Structure 1
Amino acid sequence: MGENTRSMIFTIYGDHIHHYGNKIWIGSLIRLLKEFGHNEQAVRVAVSRMLKQGWIQSEKQGNKSYYFLTDQGINRIEEAANRIFKLKPNEWDGKWRILMYTIPEEKRQIRDDLRQELLWSGFGSFSNGCWISPNNLEKEVKLLIEKYDIRDYVDFFVSDYIGPKDHHALVEKSWHLDQVVERYEEFIEMYSKQYIAHQSIINQGEMSDAECFVERTKLVHEYRKFLFINPGLPKELLPAKWNGTIAATLFNQYYQILAEPASRFFESIFKENNDLWKKDESYDAKQHPYITQ
């Protein structure tokens, strides 16, 4: 439950709190997580862990503790949002980015952490210590080199592939896209039914704001998991039976019918005991700022 609580807090920060000044009273956070069956102790433990990992910071105002995203947290949330709300695959410049490293055994923990970060950013494991991506990830790589202080152990290239195989052979060697297609199929099957059912109920006013908040957050939480397995390849490199775009369209349509009532519920909880009520004026729940065609 602990890891699940922390993951759900990330989702709520990204989908809600981030648009309201990034800061929330711990009591409001506990109240929101209660909607998903997470108790107060689980929330406090998860928040403590996120503090230690540098994702959030705390501040006291009177006898109240408020928690807000650090720069590291904001960067991660925005990077995730830009990818999760994208409806169409990237355009490709035809170049491959190659990151090669040899990290000594005594820095094994750094090597393991770096591997997870590279997977999250969409790199594929081409061979031992060699990671590739067709996407422009120079900025992300530079940040990783600084974060883990591994300048002495890595080399980074932007290159052309001239064979002897074709580009799709590189993709097959570096990623397991058939597994991603299966996961998208499961998502489409499950959420297309829910979307149709909830569309009717919401239109008839028979679904509460709290229920819409729970469903919207669960939807984002589930869809967010694709960030860890979908490398976000350009359309030229996707398999013929790619269903990621269908899933993205379904997600977007379902998100939009839940958006406004979900935001109303969040605001009702957030405003209580929060003297720092601050809403990003450009934020429109239905026209999400990160949704890109």
Structure 2
Amino acid sequence: MRDEEGAAAPVRPQSLMLSFLGLYVLDRGSAVYSGSVIDVFARMGVSQEAVRSTLARMVKRDLLVRHRRGRRMYFGLTPRSSEVLRDGHDRVWGAGAVNRDWDGTWTLVAFSMPEAWHSQRHDLRSRLVWAGFGSLQNGLWIAPGRIDVPAVVAGLGLEDHLNVMNAHAARPTEAAQLMSRAFDIASIAARYRAFLGRWDRPRPVPDVSDDLARQLLLHTDWLQLVRSDPRLPAQHLPADWPAIRAERVFRALSAQYDAPAKQLADAVLDTVPAEPQADR
């Protein structure tokens, strides 16, 4: 893969793995043989060692579970990874890249915790970014719309350290000012333009040999974009906001690659039914 200047962009094995699992394992009740995963990832220049390391790391994080069949090891989803993948699917296909339905409501999250809680603070901030929040000022994060904050922070054990509110901007503060203060709008736009630089061309930049690899790279690129996009209100964005065209390009290419990619996947992937009780 290359960025818009043509410099090589690193392939992220775990990001690619999540795209692969979401496209070819989620909701199929199956586990996939590690050797066939290695074959697929080789098409994108990912080494066998990197694939095996990624699979092992995801098992430790309760994102995959092992299923042994004779001398072969298969990997299936866990309830946690299924939830993560469905959330990603909804983000890609349900929400859309542009928020055209905003009613002026903001969700505010204020938090305070001991300075020594570096890990907890990092986990909270990561969850907030994924949910579309930006940092307005120290300890105060905002997101457009009504966000289900208890669902966002579930499992962190930080509820007693949060104050959550819904509010509207009041004079002299304008919604556009809050957006520019809490979100790096120029960087968001630049990421969409970089995506267009790679994919909106007669021959997309990723130098791979088939549509299975292209589909995985495309979905990985797009999911990384929407993960970092807070879906800011359309009425406060430039008329030529690049997310609009980028989403059209993503959907058109995904539809173009879909059938040949599935045909290749069916030929390459060795799967077995995922049993409830598995060898972890």
Q: If the TM-score is normalised by the length of the shorter chain, which range does it land in?
A: 0.7 to 0.9
In the alignment, is residue 122 of structure 1 matched against residue 119 of structure 2?
no
Asked if structure 1 preserves the Cα contact closer than 8 Å seen for 2:146 and 2:166, the reply is no
Residues 40 and 213 of structure 2 are in contact (CA less than 8 Å); yes or no, is this contact kept in structure 1?
no
| Matching residue of 2:4 | none
Aligned with 1:246: secondary structure? helix
Alignment length, in residue pairs? 261
1:89 is aligned with what amino acid? V
| Contact 2:31–2:272 (Cα < 8 Å) also in 1 | no
**1:104 and 2:104 correspond:** no
Residue aligned with 1:158, SS: strand
Letter in 2 for 1:17: V
Q: Residue 213 of structure 1 corresponds to which residue in structure 2?
A: 212
- Please say if residues 133 and 142 of structure 2, whose CA atoms lie closer than 8 Å, have aligned partners that are also in contact: yes
Aligned to 1:67: 75
Write the distance in 2 (CA, Å) between the matches of 1:88 and 1:220: 14
Residue type of the alignment partner of 1:40 = Q
How far apart are 1:214 and its partner, in Å?
A: 0.9
Aligned to 1:31: 39
Could you report, residue by residue, the CA deviation over 1:31-59 in whole angstroms, capped at 9, with x for unpaired residues?
A: 21121122222111111111222222223
Indicate the SS of the match to 1:275.
Answer: strand
Equivalent of 1:276 in 255, 273, 276: 273
Q: Counterparts in 2 of 1:73-222, with a 5 A limit?
A: 73-85=81-93, 86-87=95-96, 89-90=98-99, 91-138=101-148, 141-193=149-201, 196-197=202-203, 211-222=210-221
1:189 corresponds to which letter in structure 2?
G
Normalising by the residue count of structure 2, what TM-score does the alignment of the two structures yield?
0.84
In 2, Cα distance between equivalents of 1:111 and 1:88: 28
Q: Which amino acid aligns with 1:217?
A: L
Unaligned runs of 5+ in 1: 199-207, 278-293
Structural RMSD (CA): 2.4
Distance 2:30 2:102 in 1: 34
* TM-score of the pair, normalised by structure 1: 0.81
1:225 corresponds in structure 2 to 224
Gaps spanning 5+ residues in structure 2: where? 1-8, 275-280
Tell me how far 1:88 sits from its aligned partner.
Answer: 5.5
C-alpha contact (below 8 Å) 1:2/1:46 kept by paired residues: no
Q: Distance in 2 between matches of 1:275 and 1:49?
A: 22
Map Cα deviations across residues 4-28 of structure 1 (whole Å, 9 max, x no partner): 2222111111222225335322222
Aligned-partner Cα distance in 1 for 2:198–2:67:
41
Inter-partner Cα distance in structure 1 for 2:75 and 2:28: 13
8 A contact 1:87–1:245 mirrored in 2: no
Partner of 1:255: 254
